[in-house]
Structure formats: C-alpha cells, structure tokens
Amino acid sequence: RKEYGIEDALKKLGITKTNKGTSTGSEWMESAHSISSFSPVDGTEIASVGITENKDYEKVIEKAQTAFKFWANLPAPNRGEIVRQFSQKLREMKDPLGRLVSYEMGKSLQEGWGEVQEMIDICDFAVGLSRQLHGLTIKSERPEHHMQEQWHPLGITGIISAFNFPVAVWSWNTALAWVAGDVCVWKPSEKTPLTGVACQNLIAEVLKENKMPEGISCLINGDYKVGEWMTHDERIPLISATGSIRMGKIVGQAVAARLGKSILELGGNNAMIITPDADLKISLIGSVFGAVGTAGQRCTSTRRLIVHEDIYNDLTEKIKGAYSQLRIGNPLDEKNHVGPLIDKDAVNAYENAIEKAKSLGGKVIVEGGVLSGEGYESGCYVKPAIIEVENSYSIVQEETFAPILYVIKYKGGVENAIAIQNSVKQGLSSAIMTNNVREAHKFLSGAGSDCGIANVNIGTSGAEIGGAFGGEKETGGGRESGSDAWKAYMRRQTNTLNYGDSLPLAQGIKFDL
Ligand code: UN1
C-alpha cells in the first residue's frame, strides 16, 4: 500500500480506520453497524463505514428539505460558483482520489484518475449551465398574450450509484442537480463506501468555506434496505439509480408506484460491428480496450463483437495476439492493463458465464480462468476470455460484468449485423467500425442501432460527459451528464400572461356574463 501512496491518499481524503457513514455536510452521525470495505487489489480490509440508521435517515431528509428552501432560492450562478469551487478541490485532489478509486474498486490508476477527470469535466459543464437553464418563449394564439416555459428546482434528488464508477456517476447527477437548485442525498454502492466518504469530505469543505447550511449534500450508507427507504419516500421527487437491470426494475416500480420521477441507467449488452471496410488497426485497439478495460466492468464495456465472415479469421487471430500481450495484475502498477474484478461473487459470475457459454456450444478462442499465486492473493483476478457464440444463446443475451468477449460471425450486408446487434433486451452503447459511408449512415439512421449511444470508428466505452449518457429498452431510458439531461432534475412550468384588458379564451371559446 505504501509503495502506491495509498496511506497518504487515505490521509489526504480524511479516511480513517473507522468512518461514520451518515452526513448532512459537515455533520456526521454515529451508527451501531458498519460495512467493511475490502480492496480487490490485495484482499485486505481498507477501513469501515457506518451504516445509516432509520432515525438518522429521517434527520437527513429533514435537513435536506430545509436546505432545499435556501438552496433553490439562491441565484443559479451562485450555485454554479459552489460547483466551480468543488471542481477546484477535485483538481487539487485528483491524485489521491484517483488512487483511492483504483484501490477500492480495482480499476487501473489511469482510469481512476480518468474518473476524477470526468468529475472535473461535469463540474465545469455544470458551472456554464448555471447561466443557461433556459426555457422557451412561445407564441400565443390569443391577442395581447405571452407564453413562456420556465424550469424550476425539483427538491431532493436521491442518488443510488454503482461500484464500477463509484465517484463519476455521483458527480454527473449531483453537479447538474445542484446547479438546477436541488439538494442531493447519495447512497453509494456498499462495495465502494470509502470513495463516498472521501467525496463527502471534499464537498463539505467547500460548503463550509462558503457558510452554506447543512443538507445540500448528504451521504447515507447501507445495502438495498437503505435504498428502499429512498425509493418509497415521497419527499424525494427524483431518484437517479445506476446498476443492474434487476435492481432497476425494483427501483423503477417503487418510484412509479408513488408517481415519482426516476432516471435509470442500467445494464448494457454493447456490441461492436466490424465490417469488411473497417480499419483493422483501430478495430483491434477499440475492441480490446472495450472488452478488457476496467476488467469488463463498465456498463459500456464491449460484450459482443459482430464480425463479417470475410475478415473474421484475420481479425480473431489479431485479437488473440493482442490478448496474449495483456498484463493482468495490481491496477496501481501502471505496467498492468487489467486489474481485478470487484469481489469473489463477480469471479463466480464470470466462471459460471464461461461454463454456460461452453455448454451451449460456444467455442473458446481465448481461454479464461481465475489467477492464483503471488500478486493474485485477493482471488479476484481473472483472465480475459473470448468465446465464439450465437447471439441467441441465453448467456449472450445477459450482461455479465466481467472481461468475457463473445464473437459472432455475420454474412451479407450491414443490415444483418445491425439486426443481430439489436436482438438483445438492453440498449446502452454500440459501435460500428467501417470506412464505408453508407454503412456508417445506415447504422446511425432510425433503422440502425437502437441504443442510446451509437459510435462510428470508436469503441462502445469511454463516452465524453458533453453528450447525454444512457440507453433504451431494459437499460432504463434515463439520460445523465451532458446535452439537456439537466432537464430531468427540474420541473417544467408553462406560463401564459395576459397583458390586455379582456379575457379571450383559448380555442375561441365564448363565455360572456
Ligand atoms: C458506467 O459504466 O456506469 O462511457 C459509466 C464510459 C464512461 C462511463 C461509464 N464514461 O465508459
């Protein structure tokens, strides 16, 4: 740990051996029970975080409600200024926070830093946005009338985030929600609670320096039961949840039952189509990074390669060669390409998926397996695997959060590849590798990819924050991050103003007294 600066990072981020897990900003509450956070890097316990008790959850929500009255009335650019200062803090703490992300979650240090960079970027985006929460003006059908649309703050935004992007996804939600005038209550994944505490410490400093009230940024911790308090809570008008489809169905239904709003960012089953007109060099790098980056634990990871028969053998040989060069090991050591899976449950899911694919007739191209021995003591390191399959196999239809790449051969025109790509229940990210303009446009047309993200000549993962992030079908339909995703954190109000001295009714209706 020392060698990789972890002790130092923990210290800088205010993480001790035992940490409180419930906070309204600078105030923290005690709890009777705690979660231990183990690093998948070396299997050791890093520290523990208190589990939120129901009575304290109530206090948090009350504080947040009170804070909302203050925060929503602050001019939006002033809220943006707080976010700007937070992004400054993140710039200063990029190294330790990126290290902690890498150590607690297991992604490479480069990707840990990259995640903090995404936080900085979304904060910058949100600062600009704080002066651009624009509505429309609309022409009225009535004389001497004016219509307009305004966007107002919504209330408390509840954020439920996943282990794989433990800090970035929170910031996509919270930076937009804050400038929109909402206050936030965040429940991080119970697999990565320490990064949550670290982020709360950073934002609490900024809020304190600006003499802001408690309740603008709240943290709660625990398992699905704590999440359920949020999803059933009518005081939380918006729940933004990232995670599995199974979880999303439960969350979505609970929130819908009280007619609340939700943003769901769930699983993907992302495919890359490689046509005979593809640049094979970029196809190779794009597919390997997409499949093994973050050890296949991004919701945008490349799960399926749909390759034309004419280039199939050539391409699979090249990928095989690339896989043989991959270095698997400690993600804090920059020589390594692939780090561990999050925990042993994830390792079991990986092994089961490979077995299942084989039993259904899958042909192994690159053999997987769990690594043991020196450097692999945590038991969470696995070999990235490649299996030739049919798209219809039940296991190929599922998202397995692991570095397993399924390869599927297609014949004929690109429409056949697109049909295979769309034949899954999920609809997050997709990519086509081609230098053929017709193929590229077909892929991006309404008859093309049915995903929320569709890329040409880049991979399925690694989206920039400037675009709206999310997907269709069982991916949940929500959009986060850039473009106009901010609208989901606000309520729309249509205003009609009469500046005349009569009262003409819409639709020409006559009503005289
Ligand atoms: C996720 O895996 O939950 O596009 C988010 C990407 C990242 C975000 C992934 N910017 O891969």
Smallest CA-to-CA distance from 51 within 196, 232, 210, 259 is with 196
pLDDT of residue 228: 98
pLDDT of residue 2: 75
Annotated catalytic residue 388 = no
Q: What global pTM score does this model have?
A: 0.97
Ligand 1 touching residue 467 (CB < 6 A):
no
Cα separation, 138 vs 147, whole angstroms: 5
pLDDT of residue 294: 97
Ligand 1 atom having least distance to the Cα of 162: 3
Ligand 1 atom having least distance to the Cα of 429: 4
Ligand 1 touching residue 455 (CB < 6 A):
no
Cα separation, 106 vs 172, whole angstroms: 21
Ligand 1 touching residue 461 (CB < 6 A):
yes
Torsion of CA 80, 82, 84, 88, to 10 degrees: -170
Ligand 1 touching residue 380 (CB < 6 A):
no
Ligand 1 touching residue 43 (CB < 6 A):
no
Ligand 1 touching residue 242 (CB < 6 A):
yes
Q: Label the pairing between strands 363-366 and 302-308.
A: unpaired
In terms of Cβ atoms closer than 10 Å to its own Cβ (0-12, 13-18, 19+), residue 1 is: middle
Cα separation, 62 vs 54, whole angstroms: 12
Ligand 1 atom having least distance to the Cα of 265: 3
- Per-residue b or e along 56-94, where b marks 16 or more CB atoms closer than 10 Å to that residue's CB: bbebbbebbeebbeebbebebeebbbbbbbbbebbeebb
| Distance of CA 287 from the midpoint of ligand 1 (Å) | 15
Q: Is residue 235 within 8 Å of 67, Cβ to Cβ?
A: no
Q: Is residue 368 within 8 Å of 362, Cβ to Cβ?
A: no
Cα separation, 418 vs 449, whole angstroms: 6
| Distance of CA 425 from the midpoint of ligand 1 (Å) | 19
**419 Cβ neighbours under 8 A, 6+ residues apart:** none
Per-residue tens of pLDDT for the chain, all 513 residues: 778 999 999 999 999 999 999 999 999 999 999 999 999 999 999 999 999 999 999 999 999 999 999 999 999 999 999 999 999 999 999 999 999 999 999 999 999 999 999 999 999 999 999 999 999 999 999 999 999 999 999 999 999 999 999 999 999 999 999 999 999 999 999 999 999 999 999 999 999 999 999 999 999 999 999 999 999 999 999 999 999 999 999 999 999 999 999 999 999 999 999 999 999 999 999 999 999 999 999 999 999 999 999 999 999 999 999 999 999 999 999 999 999 999 999 999 999 999 999 999 999 999 999 999 999 999 999 999 999 999 999 999 999 999 999 999 999 999 999 999 999 999 999 999 999 999 999 999 999 999 999 999 999 999 999 999 999 999 999 999 999 999 999 999 999 999 999 999 999 999 998
Dihedral pair phi/psi, residue 352, rounded to 5°: -65, -40
Q: Is residue 304 within 8 Å of 406, Cβ to Cβ?
A: yes
Pick the catalytic residue: 265, 388, 439, 474?
265
pLDDT of residue 3: 82
pLDDT of residue 413: 98
Q: Is residue 145 within 8 Å of 499, Cβ to Cβ?
A: yes
Cα separation, 128 vs 133, whole angstroms: 9
Smallest CA-to-CA distance from 463 within 482, 444, 476 is with 482
Ligand 1 touching residue 105 (CB < 6 A):
no
Ligand 1 atom having least distance to the Cα of 465: 10
Cα separation, 422 vs 338, whole angstroms: 29
User: CA angle at residue 91 from 89 to 95, to 5 degrees?
Assistant: 110
Q: Could you tell me how far CA 153 lies from the centroid of its own chain?
A: 23
pLDDT of residue 108: 97
Ligand 1 touching residue 270 (CB < 6 A):
no
* Residue with CA closest to ligand 1 atom 3: 299
Residue length of the chain: 513
Largest distance between two CA atoms of the chain = 90
Sign (positive or negative) of CA dihedral 129, 91, 20, 161? positive
Cα separation, 450 vs 452, whole angstroms: 7
Ligand 1 touching residue 462 (CB < 6 A):
yes
* Residue with CA closest to ligand 1 atom 6: 462
Cα separation, 244 vs 162, whole angstroms: 9
* Residue with CA closest to ligand 1 atom 7: 462
Sign (positive or negative) of CA dihedral 210, 211, 213, 215? positive
Q: Coil, strand or helix: which one is 149?
A: strand
Q: Could you tell me how far CA 13 lies from the centroid of its own chain?
A: 22
Ligand 1 atom having least distance to the Cα of 299: 2
Q: Is residue 421 within 8 Å of 449, Cβ to Cβ?
A: yes
**355 Cβ neighbours under 8 A, 6+ residues apart:** none
Amino acid in position 239: I
Ligand 1 touching residue 24 (CB < 6 A):
no
Sign (positive or negative) of CA dihedral 49, 51, 56, 61? positive
Ligand 1 touching residue 294 (CB < 6 A):
no
Q: In testing the pocket of ligand 1, which one of 469, 475, 480 has its CB within 8 Å of the most ligand atoms?
A: 469
Q: Any idea what DSSP says for residue 501?
A: S
Q: Label the pairing between strands 238-242 and 156-160.
A: parallel
CA 506 vs CA 410, 424, 511: distances in Å? 57, 47, 11
Q: In testing the pocket of ligand 1, which one of 172, 240, 292, 298 has its CB within 8 Å of the most ligand atoms?
A: 298
Smallest CA-to-CA distance from 45 within 454, 378, 502 is with 378
Q: Is residue 459 within 8 Å of 278, Cβ to Cβ?
A: no
